[in-house]
Amino acid sequence: MTKPAIGAWLGTTWAPHEVLAVAGEAEAAGFDSVWLADHFMANTGTEKVSDRGNLECFGMLAGIAAAVPRVRLGSLVASITFRHPAVLANIAATVDGIASGRLVLGVGAGWQLNEHAAYGLPLGPVRDRIDRFEEGLQVLTGLLRSDSTTVAGEHYTVTGAPIVTRPGAARTPILIGASGEKRMLGVVARYADEWNCWSTPELFAHKSRVLDEHCERIGRDPREIRRSTQAMLEIDGEGTGAGSAVVSGSVAQIVDTIGQWSDAGVDEVIVPGIRGTADEGRRLFDRVATEILPQLG
């Protein structure tokens, strides 16, 4: 097995000082990255508003960037519907400057109904979301990969918009969270530096092959795209509960699953500690650091 990087996904329902503390602890324990979700409230599955709010992703990432000096850090993922993409590009460039080039800008098309309803943000049908997302990516890539950009689109218009980046710095990588095989993985092939999805090893292998096919259609080398995944983790029955994908078992079984992900082409496995309190997240990350990381080589 080629050892994948291991990331820690922190909770945004925690207090800011808890996020900063756990991020520092994760770095010290040997994790390679820390991640935050970009949501304004807990998901209810409908337009019903949750009474539990979340920390704002990029404000918190800026704090982590200043306080935690070595690990990569990123959004997993920022909805294009929350911020104009030109504004998002400037936010990302600023946070990446604080982080000295360690930020990964994770973005997605948007999906959670209740936060859009509560904040008056248009979401729309899936087809429209993907159209808007593609156009937003034109703005993001135009700004983050050059000194200025002009885009005249149906959803976004920017004219000679400038951006400030660190002189001589590598551009901020764009990660796209996606699993839709017909359109979204095609968007990944065209725009992404990194790709992320929830998965099991079998599901990841399938989705990765589909992404490779999209890359081949447009003449892009699939190896250019860094690939990451996550699943809710339960070690010996202790963990974060149900989610989009769940991996459970003994320490040996978890290590074997990580090996299967690696064999399927995963470059980074992200461990979600997003359910529950900061102390519960700490316990999960501590078990991963002390019982699993040493067995990965």
pLDDT given for residue 51 in this prediction: 87
DSSP 245-274: SEEEE-HHHHHHHHHHHHHTT-SEEEEE--
- Integer Cα distance of 29 and 53 in angstroms: 29
Residue 179 belongs to domain spanning: 5-296
At residue 206, the 3 state secondary structure works out as: helix
- Integer Cα distance of 157 and 170 in angstroms: 26
Per-residue pLDDT tens digits for 31-53: 999 999 999 999 999 999 998 89
- Averaged pLDDT, 170-189: 97
CATH number for the domain spanning 227: value is 3.20.20.30
- Total domains in the chain come to 1
Tokens in use for 124?
A: 């729309």
- Integer Cα distance of 221 and 266 in angstroms: 16
231 band by pLDDT with thresholds 50, 70 and 90 = very high
- Averaged pLDDT, 106-111: 98
At residue 18, the 3 state secondary structure works out as: helix
- Averaged pLDDT, 188-206: 98
Exposed / middle / buried, residue 152 (Cβ in 10 Å: 0-12, 13-18, 19+): exposed
Least confident interval from 9-18, 124-133, 237-246: 237-246
Q: What is the pTM of this model?
A: 0.96
Which residue from 292, 177, 181 is spatially nearest to 238, judged by alpha carbons? 292
Tokens in use for 247?
A: 């991996």
pLDDT given for residue 241 in this prediction: 53
- Is the preceding peptide bond at 251 cis, omega within 30 degrees of 0? no
Per-residue pLDDT tens digits for 122-167: 999 999 999 999 999 999 999 999 888 999 999 999 999 999 877 6
Phi, psi angle pair for 294, to nearest 5°: -65, -20
Q: Show the beta-strand stretches assigned E in the chain.
A: 5-10, 33-36, 72-75, 78-79, 103-108, 148-152, 157-162, 174-177, 194-198, 226-230, 232-235, 238-239, 246-249, 268-272
Per-residue pLDDT tens digits for 88-103: 999 999 999 999 999 9
What is the number of alpha carbons within 13 Å of residue 151 lying toward its C-beta?
A: 23
- Give me the percent of the chain exceeding a pLDDT of 90: 90
pLDDT given for residue 297 in this prediction: 77
pLDDT given for residue 242 in this prediction: 53
- Average of per-residue pLDDT values in the chain: 95
Asked whether the predicted pLDDT for residue 240 surpasses 80, the reply is: no
- Integer Cα distance of 40 and 60 in angstroms: 13
Position with higher pLDDT, 237 vs 275: 275
Sign of CA dihedral 210, 175, 135, 39: positive
